[in-house]
Amino acid sequence: MSAQAALSIVGATRDYAVAFHGERRTLRALRGIDLEVRQGEVVAIVGESGCGKTTLSRLMLGIEAPSSGSVTVAGKPIASYHRIVRAGLIQPVFQDPYSSLNPRQTLGSIIAAPLVVRGEGNARSRQAAVAEMMQAVGLPPHLLNAYPSQISGGQRQRVAIARALIAQPRILICDEPTSALDVSVQSQIINLIGTLQKKLGLTVLLISHNLAVVYHMAERVAVMYLGTLVETGRTEELFARPRHPYTRSLLDAVLPPTPGRRPDWSEAIAEPPNPVDPPPGCPFNPRCPRASDLCRTQMPEPTGTAGGMVRCHHPFEAAA
Amino acid sequence: MTAATLTTMSPRRLALHRLLRHGSFWFGGGAILLILLVALVGPLFTLDPVAQNLGARLVPPVWDVRGSWAHPLGTDQLGRDLLARLVDGARISMFIGIATVLVSGLIGTAMGMAAGYFGGRVDLVINFLITIRLTLPVVLVALVVVAVVGSSLSVLVVVIGLLLWDRFAVVTRSATQRLAHSDFVIAARAIGSSTPRILLVEILPNIVGPLIVVATVEVAHAVLLEAALSFLGLGVKPPLASWGLMVAESKNQLLFRPWLIAIPGVALVTLVLAINLLGDALRDVVAPEGRA
């Protein structure tokens, strides 16, 4: 693992005990994730609901521990940091700004909380820092003493971003930061995150299923399916020439095809498999038009591609 | 940029606004305030509640032809002024009600928050304790403890306080459970908040509403329990005046001088009714989803 990695995840798994048809079973939400993110890089993690994106974000935040494998931030395991040091390394922005802000606290005290917890400065210096941060994220100063219920969804998300950034983290984990917002507000928030990322040199992990947002923001994309990364690559590369059948079906499902043109292979339909009871072999085989007997028995190993990897027995050809 | 005005009120102002338009709040709150005022300053104006005057036993209240303004509510079988004893009894009821709820509220809230936040084994143990508590007949246990330890105001407060925490624990536990996995609590963990800070600063302010509602119900509960224990002779000791004790002392006079029982009885009913009405109003305002 290279030294300049801001965040590196090696073989991370995460199991949950669940009741499945009345019996105790293990739900393996993450089945061995390997991911390395450089300082200042914007990496998107895409995948459908229930594929483990949110679990992965909790592992990266150090709020949950991996069942096996490791999550390393700035050279040390995330669990080895004191909670206050950790807060200065990595911060989240959540999907739903209606539940991520305490309804009983004023915006001022929400944004100041990281400084209060850290015991940084006095009341006056914190107030100045909050005012500066509110300006940086585009919140009018008169909202200082307002409550979350009094402002719009877009403003709430700005508050959440301000709270994350006032801790001066190196890494920002944005878990679907726009999917709860009005379409007209989504681009504002995306642009805000993009601007601040460049200005502060932040490392951003963008967890999303909005491929347009991913294409706009991310340098690299990691495609997640049922707890594994099935393909990673540079954004333009991956969008232009997806190698994994799942990546392809994701892109086909979202990008409007040329009128009259049908996908040159039948779309992956069927429900995603239950993660408590995953299919043997490649987890995508029940939905994959290219599945062979090999796919139904053996899990494919990742193979390196230009700038990424693909985990498939029968990947689409890379363009010459 | 023009200073846009906020279109909605802050949660606190909104709750207050709704409360001020609630009839039960004015009636219940007013009656409680009145009783509290009487309990606090009343003794300055009334006669000595324990002074006996055997020459003036069983004087009827002023509205009876034999009554007089010397004893507006009459006297009891030992010639003690009933108004003075009623006012003194209000102090005892109010004190017991509020003090026990402070004890039980502290115990129940702490246990409920621990169970709801930590879950797992902590939850299991606390649930077990709640279940055990629910199987205990409150009056019986209180009677036994008071009979063994002896009775005093502080014993009563501790005993009743240790018996009435269950509803606090149940309500707090489920409310905390709901919040423990909310995004704002996870965000609080991500910014490095300590567990006490999360419990006290993030969670507690969000469950105060339902707790206040439980507290009002439990004050009424404690007041009635004290009256019952005093009536059975195991609560407040004579010559102190308690409404339950006043009823007990006069039970022989039920048929001939009913006012001796009716007056403390009406006082007790008024207080408990007022507390419950206030609780209803608070519940409508802070936890409307719990409306039955």
Q: Is B3 in contact with A104 (Cβ distance < 8 A)?
A: no
Nearest-Cα distance to chain B for A258, in Å, is: 40
pLDDT value at position A293? 87
Side-chain-side CA neighbours of B284 within 13 Å: the count stands at 15
Which of B71-80, B86-95, B174-183: highest mean pLDDT? B174-183
* Residue ranges of domains in chain B, CATH in brackets: 32-41+80-290 (1.10.3720.10)
Confirm if B54 and B202 have CB atoms less than 8 A apart. Answer: no
Picking from B8, B186, B188, the nearest residue to A149 by CB comes out as B8
C-alpha A189/C-alpha A131 separation (Å) is: 19
Answer yes or no: do A100 and B183 touch at CB < 8 A: yes
Contact A86 B10 (CB under 8 A): no
End-to-end CA distance of chain A: 30
Q: How does the average pLDDT of chain B come out, rounded?
A: 85
**Average pLDDT value for residue range A213-234:** 91
Pairing assessment for the beta strands A90-93 and A171-175 based on DSSP bridges: parallel
Compute φ and ψ for A204, nearest 5 degrees.
-120, 130
A96 contacts on B by Cβ (under 8 Å): 183
pTM: 0.82
**CA A208/CA B87 separation, integer angstroms:** 68
Which residues from B are below 8 Å from A94, CB to CB?
183, 186-187
pLDDT, tens digit, 9 for 90 and up, residues A232-286: 999 998 888 888 988 888 887 765 656 665 555 555 556 777 778 788 888 888 8
CA distances from B89 to A271, B101, B193 (A): 70, 18, 47
Amino acid identity of residue A319, one-letter, is A
Choose between A161 and B67: higher pLDDT. A161
Instruction: Confirm if A193 and A212 have CB atoms less than 8 A apart.
Output: no
- CATH homologous superfamily for A36-52+75-310? P-loop containing nucleotide triphosphate hydrolases (3.40.50.300)
Q: How far apart are CA A237 and CA A29, in angstroms?
A: 28
Percent of chain B with pLDDT over 90: 31
pLDDT of residue B288: 54
Q: Rounded to an integer, what distance in angstroms lies between the CA atom of residue A229 and that of residue A310?
A: 8
Locus of tokens 């073989």:
A11
In angstroms, the separation between the Cα of residue B17 and the nearest Cα of chain A is 16
Distance from CA of A55 to the nearest CA of B (A): 13
**Alpha carbon distance A86, A62 (integer Å):** 8
CB-nearest to A150 from B8, B190, B205 is B8
pLDDT at B3: 46
Beta strand A5-20 pairing with A23-38: antiparallel
Tokens representing B163? 């018996």
Q: At what angle do helices B82-118 and B204-231 cross, to 10 degrees?
A: 140
Residue B287 scores a pLDDT above 70: no
Chain B hits for A92, CB-CB cut-off 8 Å, are 186-187, 190
In the sheet that holds A23-38, the strands lie side by side as: A23-38, A5-20, A68-73, A76-77
Answer yes or no: do A118 and B8 touch at CB < 8 A: no
Q: Which residues 6+ apart lie within 8 Å of A235 measured at CB?
A: A44, A214, A215, A218, A219, A220, A221
What pLDDT does residue B20 have? 82
pLDDT of res. B199:
95
Answer whether B238's CB lies under 8 Å from B245's CB: yes
C-beta separation of B205 from A123 below 8 A: no
pLDDT of A149 > 90? The answer is no
Asked if pLDDT for residue B108 goes beyond 90, the answer is yes
More confident residue, A193 or A275: A193
To the nearest whole angstrom, how far is the Cα of A92 from the nearest Cα of chain B?
A: 7
Cβ contacts (< 8 Å) between A146 and chain B: which residues?
6, 10
Please tell me the predicted confidence (pLDDT) of residue A42: 94
pLDDT digits (tens, 9 = 90+) for B8-29: 677 777 778 888 888 888 888 8
The more confident residue out of B53 and A31 is A31
Q: Which residue has the higher pLDDT, A271 or A140?
A: A140
- For residue A204, pLDDT beyond 90: yes
Disruptive mutation site among B183, B194, B202, B207 for chain A (greatest number of A CBs within 10 Å): B183
More confident residue, A111 or B51: A111
A300 vs A283: CA distance, rounded Å? 10
Structure tokens at A63: 């709020």
Q: Is pLDDT of A79 > 80?
A: yes
Give CA–CA dist B166/B172, Å, rounded. 10
pLDDT tens for each residue of B166-194: 999 999 999 999 999 899 999 999 999 99
Q: Of B254, B215, B250, which Cα lies nearest the Cα of B230?
A: B250
Question: What is the rounded CA–CA span in Å between residue A56 and residue A11?
Answer: 12
Least confident of A66-70, A265-269, B31-35: A265-269
Cross-chain Cβ contact A150/B186 below 8 Å: no
